[in-house]
Chains A and B, each alone.
Chain A
Amino acid sequence: MQATAFLLIGFTVHAVIMIVLYSRGASRAARAHRFARTVDLALDETNEPAVTRRLARRERAGAIGVIVAVWSVAAWLYVGTDLFERITYAPFLVVAAVFAGHATGNGVVAWRESTRPTASAGPRIARASTPTHADYVPGYERWSTWVLAGASALLAAAAALVDRTGLLDLGEVPAGLLVLCGVVPAAVVVVDELLAHRLVQQRQVATTSLELAWDDALRARTLRDLTTLSLFVGAAGPVVLSGVISDGLEGGWPANPAVGVTLAVLPIILVAGAVMTVVSLVSNPQRHFRQRLWPAPVPADQAAQAGQAAHR
């Protein structure tokens, strides 16, 4: 319970700090410049106000989403029972709520921004191709969501099979948890893919190449937020399932082989997570959209040049 309460308060405080930081002019400009360096896009006096405003709006909405999500989970855990005490793995729910809340807040703003009106005067720019989800989120991240969801479903199916056949004594295996671990990670990935597909299909309003590149940068950030939620839920499924089964087991390894099997899951997930982290650090996924959509430096005034060409 203490860990859950600590996480609830910690994430809430962090979200409030984010809201404050992204509401103050100097602070949000500094954060926008940091993001610009991460994605290697220019942030000059012409585009800085708009980019800073859009980034701040997303981060504030994400922070509000976090607060709403974690306290919704807290309220659900507390509802008139001792559920809070009984759920050992409640911290996983809280962290999942953080990712879900942030992705939802960010996504709602991204969706609303895609419906903003086109500039009435001046040139407008558009791509002569249609980007896909793969242009914004690296393939290894997207595939990892399916691998983890598959691993979770496989583990749930294996646990159900072993429990049914009595191959190993797994103690009391909650049937509800088996269903949750088998279905929820896959369902989250499917929803992530569907939402991402819809968001990528939304229009992009821009008057210069740089503005379009910034729209891609913000879109990639939102889509990767959604993927992070899928990754977390996919990794949490096997950990929670093996943890719950392990908690109900008696004796130790090697006397009880089931103990060894369940305890092996956590290090495997940790190693997979470490590998993923190293790959992320090396490949710089924040710039993935640059490699796919903007391999060359982005010109700031392409629309103006092309607009002159259109006049001729």
Chain B
Amino acid sequence: MMLVVDPASHVPPYEQVRAQIDTLVSQGGLVPGHRLPTVRRLAEDLGLAANTVARAYRELEQNGVVITRGRAGTFVALRGADREREARIAAGQFAQRVRELEVDPVRALDLAREALER
């Protein structure tokens, strides 16, 4: 997945970066959990000021497209349909494990509710 910045464009560079990442995420090119390059690395690769990339990342974070986990980096966030899909997968895995353990489904749901309320 590539990002391209054209300095000759009338669109500000930060907006070019923001829009492309947003598009890649919404089209599924960048999946939830994907780690984006660091601000410094992306700025150096694209020949931009670090503040420019930082602004793009900040706006993406405000829109819920990415999430910053401190020093671990910036990751594509789970949102909307992604969240629903991931939760469905987790629920499927839970159900599978419950069947393997031969736990009563009612009891399993109680345990799940307890875990969620913790």
Contacts and interface: CB of A to CB of B under 8 A. Distances in A.
Interface of A: 117-130, 201, 203-206, 209, 212, 302-303, 306-307, 309-311
B72 interface: no
B82 to A, nearest CB: 17
A230 B12 CA distance: 46
B20 A310 contact: yes
A127 B47 CA distance: 13
Given A128-B1, A130-B37, A307-B6, 20 more contacts: A126-B3, A126-B4, A126-B5, A126-B42, A126-B45, A127-B3, A127-B45, A128-B21, A128-B30, A128-B36, A129-B1, A129-B35, A129-B36, A129-B37, A203-B41, A203-B44, A205-B45, A303-B2, A310-B9, A310-B11
Given A205-B47, A311-B11, A130 B5 contact: no
A126 B45 CA distance: 6
13 contacts: A117-B47, A124-B6, A126-B4, A126-B5, A126-B37, A128-B34, A128-B36, A130-B38, A201-B41, A203-B41, A205-B47, A306-B4, A310-B5
Nearest to B7: A121
Interface of B: 1-11, 16, 19-21, 24, 29-30, 34-38, 41-42, 44-47
B38 A306 contact: no
A128 B3 contact: yes
Nearest to A311: B9
User: What 3 pairs across the A-B complex have the smallest Cβ distances?
Assistant: A118-B47, A306-B4, A126-B45
Contact of A130 (B29, B35, B47): B35
Contacts of A123: 4-6
A125 B38 contact: no
A302 B1 CA distance: 11
Nearest to A131: B37
A212 B1 CA distance: 12
A132 to B, nearest CB: 10
B60 to A, nearest CB: 12
A153 B24 CA distance: 48
B76 to A, nearest CB: 9
Contact of B8 (A121, A126, A212): A121
A129 B9 CA distance: 24
B1 A124 contact: no
B2 A126 contact: yes
A209 B2 CA distance: 8
Contact of B3 (A121, A125, A130, A204): A125
